Chain A
């Protein structure tokens, strides 16, 4: 099992505050809908990849970067060649576009999941005086996204083991059965993980309404301010370019 799946921040060149990462997530989801051009999206995505590498996950960043490069290349080729069959062009456009569109938010969520310890996340937002009732669900939410993926992989293997296929034909012919076979084990195992998580937090005394001390040093450093300025500027740039593309003044 890949133990580095959950957050740790040991060997990164820079360490970024969880609050900065959440801000990057917000600008990432805004960039998708405000940038109307490949150029802005590509620039933003490349910067995100570089940040990912600097935070200590160069391999993931490299993989994502190569995938991004391939997609951009395919899009550039499609734009310059006219005689291709229409169906292939349409399918390729859909696939590459979904990729481009989903890239910034998914990468920024991965950044939060893979390079942040939950305790760091909690203490950073508690230092900002965000109420516990808002911080804990958000932290658990990010903690649980990889768990769900893990459970899903396990269920798929277990189903294959027992000869139940998850092919589109099966899903269309037996939709109710598919829902039951996938959802029920996933919910059962997730609930047991939740019970354990709840027990662990109780053992740490999270349930008492007192201010908790923490070993984590919570401080926005120069890197954080730099990143905040950089990402807000990138978002503003892509929004401005997007506005110009929309009005037809550009390209």
Chain B
């Protein structure tokens, strides 16, 4: 019986998530989060750039996401990546975390519509997935006074006022727009890079 299962793993039409796929998802999650944290730390110094992070992260991290879902090709890759992201990036604020997980589920559904075959849906799903970059900021929108108090306490009046002035009621929508825009640019780069490097090497 064990032998049969191992044979199954190499078959392409295997629908079940195997240990190999779990390893890929976890490892790509680590890469995704390290790259994201580097970007956030570098841009976090300036309030405007800090709030524009969904754009930058979308542009850079799209390639990692696309490789992950292309490599696994099954239900679950985007979801695991999304949950790891939610737990590490927005664990400080529970509603934000659940929103991030919800976004990952939506991205997975987009992949499901494409039946894990259509290249177009792989690319579109990242436009949805990248919305999770807005979720760590939900603390700022839903829980505004507390966030501003924290920023004042930690960063001083100037920085807090800077963030408060920028975080107006249309800011979440602007961030969502930036997230989709960033993901769009990122996906274009990703498909180019994947065609240029990874398809040639026979990795995806």
What is the interface of chain A, defined by CB distance below 8 A to chain B? 26, 29-30, 32-34, 36-37, 89-90, 93-94, 97-98, 100-102, 132-133, 136-142, 144-145, 147-149, 152, 176, 179-180, 183-184, 186-188, 190-191, 193-194, 197-198, 201-202, 205-208, 245-246
Q: A36-B149, A176-B189, A205-B2 are in contact. Are A98 and B31 (CB under 8 A)?
A: no
Do A198 and B24 touch (CB < 8 A)? yes
Q: How near does chain B come to A199, taking the closest CB pair, in angstroms?
A: 9
Which residues from B are CB-within-8-Å of A139? 26
A selection of 12 A-B contacts at a CB cut-off of 8 Å is A36-B149, A98-B41, A100-B154, A136-B19, A140-B30, A141-B26, A179-B189, A183-B35, A183-B63, A187-B198, A198-B20, A202-B6
**A65 nearest CB across to chain B (Å):** 21
Report the minimum CB–CB distance from A135 to chain B (whole Å). Answer: 9
Q: Are B2 and A137 in contact (CB-based, < 8 A)?
A: no
Are A198 and B189 also in contact (CB < 8 A) when A36-B153, A90-B156, A101-B154 are? no
Cβ-based interface call for B93 (8 A): yes
The main secondary structure of chain A at its interface with chain B is: helix
Chain A residues with CB under 8 Å of B44's CB are 98
Residues of B within 8 A of A (CB): 2, 5-6, 9, 17-20, 22-27, 29-31, 34-35, 41, 44-45, 59-60, 63-64, 67, 71, 76, 80, 84, 88, 91-93, 139, 146, 149-150, 153-156, 158-159, 189, 193, 197-198, 201, 203
Which residues of the other chain, A, contact B30 by a CB distance below 8 angstroms? 140-142, 144-145, 147-148
Q: Which residues of A contact B34 (CB under 8 A)?
A: 145, 148-149, 152
The answer to whether A148 and B193 have CB atoms under 8 Å apart is no
Given A194-B27, A246-B149: A140 touches B22 (CB 8 Å cut-off): yes
> Given A93-B155, A98-B44: A33 and B139 within 8 A (CB)?
yes
| Residue in chain A with minimal CB distance to B89 | A29
Q: A26: which B residues are within 8 A, CB to CB? A: 91
A137/B150 contact (C-beta < 8 A), A176-B189, A183-B64 known: no
